[in-house]
Chain A
Amino acid sequence: MSRPQGIRTDKLSLWYTKFQALVDVSLEIDHGRVTGLIGPSGCGKTTLLRSFNRINERIEGVRIEGHVHILGDDIYAPEVDLVELRKRVGMVFQRPNPLPLSVRENVLFGLRVHVPRGELRRDELNHAVESSLKEVGLWDALKDKLGQRATSLSLEQQQKLCIARLLPLRPEILLMDEPCSALDPSATQRVEELIRELRDRYTIVIVTHNMAQARRISDECVFMLLGQVIEHRRTEDLFLSPKDERTANYVEGRFG
């Protein structure tokens, strides 16, 4: 069965001033799956992730060659509006970064930014808050604390809130940069469960250092080394019968 295409990169290369962080990366990531990006520190997996919503460009000295197509459109084409792109392609960071606002306002922040004041009806807003928080499993815990400051929640709740914050904008793609690295094991488990629940509705790309986590939650896995994609296969195959020797060495823990 062929699935619709989520993300496709064509010979994508990226330089930080002189250092080449990505080398001719050509990838196809299916829509509606969880794809794990694994590899040792500095291999370019986070850089690759950040080039999917063009947030790398805020760093000085970045130069990019090649193409990234998301849902069929070239996102580096001149007519692309970054605002529209980032609505469709949401990102979750290593450390939860809720804004210092209430829980409710965090969830609604995206809508407030995009829809002119006065065009948002109160019941629509309430609905957006409720459905987004339900989708990430926070509604029951937080429905009576919507006015509480988001920065006072537990880290697990903060990270889930950061996912919920993306949902009112109806994104297609969720990028996650080591979303569990600041969480304890039981919180990690619950966030992983959430990622599994979200997988059918979104294309999820997750960067992780934790190979066991990549095995647990991803359908496909991409192994990177020194800015290059070494192997991209179904997670099971990549871990059980890697084709490339370097992949085998990494997944068996001989380096990295």
Chain B
Amino acid sequence: MGVFATSATARRRHRTQKLAFVVLLGVTVLLILPVLAILGMLVYRGAPALSLEFLFSEPVRGMTAGGIWPAIVGTMWLVGVSLAISAPIGVLAAVYLNEYAGDTWYTRVIHLAIVNLAGVPSIVHALFGVGAFVLFFEFGTSILSASLTLAIMTLPVIIASTKESLSAVPMSFREACWNVGATRWQTIRHVVLPNSIAGILTGVILQVSRAAGETAPIIFTGAAVFVPFLPSSVNDQTMALSMHLFTLSTQVQNVPQEITYGTALVLVGLVVLINGVSIVIRSRIRRRRKW
């Protein structure tokens, strides 16, 4: 027998390794199945409803026919306004926390608050939105109230993801700047932000899909079952895709199922589209940077 011939134990170990590999692969594949199943079902049942008319017309006959255009427009309003509020606040807060603030008791309190805010269930955000924006500030049930509620919900995640992108910028870049006498703000403006913008944008855009999909926070604050006109300002009530889907599936009888599934398909399609855009942006900017 040669020195390098395999032994019985080595063969057994080899078999164990192969088995482990197959099991791990199997579990990973299982993860994909629900995604494929959901998408498959939506496409199978919802695709027949899709048409330009479905996308661009109003629902009619008690929502058992017609299209979903007001809901699409409403979702865009809600997402747009909420991001216009949460993105700047979130990014600036993250810049402060990561670049300026030291590790003191009050920054630790802020961190704790952010983590906890991220863990608050969306229905609780909704009740807060009703109490604070609809009633106390008297914004009424409106796009503004709903968007503010969504903004508060998305804020902690935007702060966390922005902070992560900022701290991924090597410390040596900052030192290089300070050493030619740049102030902290100049360092942030010229070096830190340009090198973290891809990550920041990705984090923000991923929150778009969350804002578009949530139903609870908007249900009492600004979204309506049916509004006969398109919103013209943030003070109007509006329809929204997620709300519309909830209404179709629980509140209205005799809805043809392809309308329900078609609405769901449009919502999911919108989210996938937005995520796709974020992936493209990220890979574009990543390819440009090298360090």
Residues of A within 8 A of B (CB): 53, 55, 58, 60, 82-87, 90-91, 93, 95, 97-100, 109-110, 112-114, 149, 151-152, 162, 165-166, 169
CB B102 to nearest CB in A, in angstroms, measures 6
Residues of B within 8 A of A (CB): 102-103, 170, 172-173, 175-183, 186, 190-191, 195, 289-291
Known: A60-B103, A100-B291, A152-B290. A55 touches B178 (CB 8 A): yes
Docked pose: A53 CA to B181 CA in angstroms: 10
Residues of A within 8 A of B191 (CB): 99-100
Docked pose: A166 CA to B177 CA in angstroms: 10
**Closest residue on chain A to residue B191 by CB atoms:** A99
Selected from B102, B175, B290, the residue in CB contact (under 8 A) with A55 is B175
Q: Is the CB of A100 within 8 A of B290?
A: yes
Docked pose: A58 CA to B172 CA in angstroms: 13
Known: A113-B190, A152-B290. A99 touches B102 (CB 8 A): no
Q: Is the CB of A99 within 8 A of B103?
A: no
Q: Is the CB of B180 within 8 A of A109?
A: yes
**Closest residue on chain B to residue A84 by CB atoms:** B181
Selected from A95, A99, A151, the residue in CB contact (under 8 A) with B290 is A151
Besides the known contacts A84-B181, A97-B173, A169-B181, 5 further A-B residue pairs in the complex with CB atoms under 8 A apart: A58-B178, A90-B179, A91-B179, A98-B176, A100-B289
Residues of A within 8 A of B186 (CB): 113
Q: Is the CB of B173 within 8 A of A113?
A: no
**Closest residue on chain B to residue A50 by CB atoms:** B175
Q: Is the CB of B173 within 8 A of A100?
A: yes
Selected from A86, A95, A149, the residue in CB contact (under 8 A) with B172 is A95
Residues of B within 8 A of A84 (CB): 181
Residues of B within 8 A of A53 (CB): 179
Q: Is the CB of B183 within 8 A of A99?
A: no
List 27 A-B residue pairs with CB atoms under 8 Å apart, sorted by A's residue number.
A55-B175, A58-B178, A60-B103, A85-B181, A86-B179, A90-B180, A91-B175, A93-B175, A93-B176, A97-B172, A97-B175, A97-B176, A98-B176, A99-B173, A100-B191, A100-B195, A100-B291, A109-B180, A110-B181, A110-B182, A113-B181, A113-B182, A114-B181, A151-B290, A151-B291, A152-B290, A165-B180
- Closest CB pairs A-B (n = 8): A110-B180, A97-B172, A86-B181, A83-B181, A87-B181, A113-B182, A97-B176, A91-B179
Selected from B170, B172, B177, the residue in CB contact (under 8 A) with A109 is B177
CB B254 to nearest CB in A, in angstroms, measures 61
Residues of B within 8 A of A85 (CB): 181
Q: Is the CB of B180 within 8 A of A60?
A: no
Residues of A within 8 A of B176 (CB): 93, 97-99, 162, 165
Docked pose: A149 CA to B172 CA in angstroms: 17
Residues of B within 8 A of A110 (CB): 180-182
Docked pose: A110 CA to B182 CA in angstroms: 7
Residues of A within 8 A of B179 (CB): 53, 55, 86, 90-91, 166
Docked pose: A93 CA to B174 CA in angstroms: 12
Docked pose: A151 CA to B177 CA in angstroms: 15
Residues of A within 8 A of B177 (CB): 99, 109, 113
Docked pose: A97 CA to B170 CA in angstroms: 9
Among B103, B182, B290, max chain A CB count under 10 A is at B182
**Closest residue on chain B to residue A89 by CB atoms:** B179
Docked pose: A112 CA to B183 CA in angstroms: 12
Residues of B within 8 A of A152 (CB): 290
Q: Is the CB of B175 within 8 A of A60?
A: no
Q: Is the CB of A169 within 8 A of B172?
A: no
Residues of A within 8 A of B182 (CB): 83, 109-110, 113
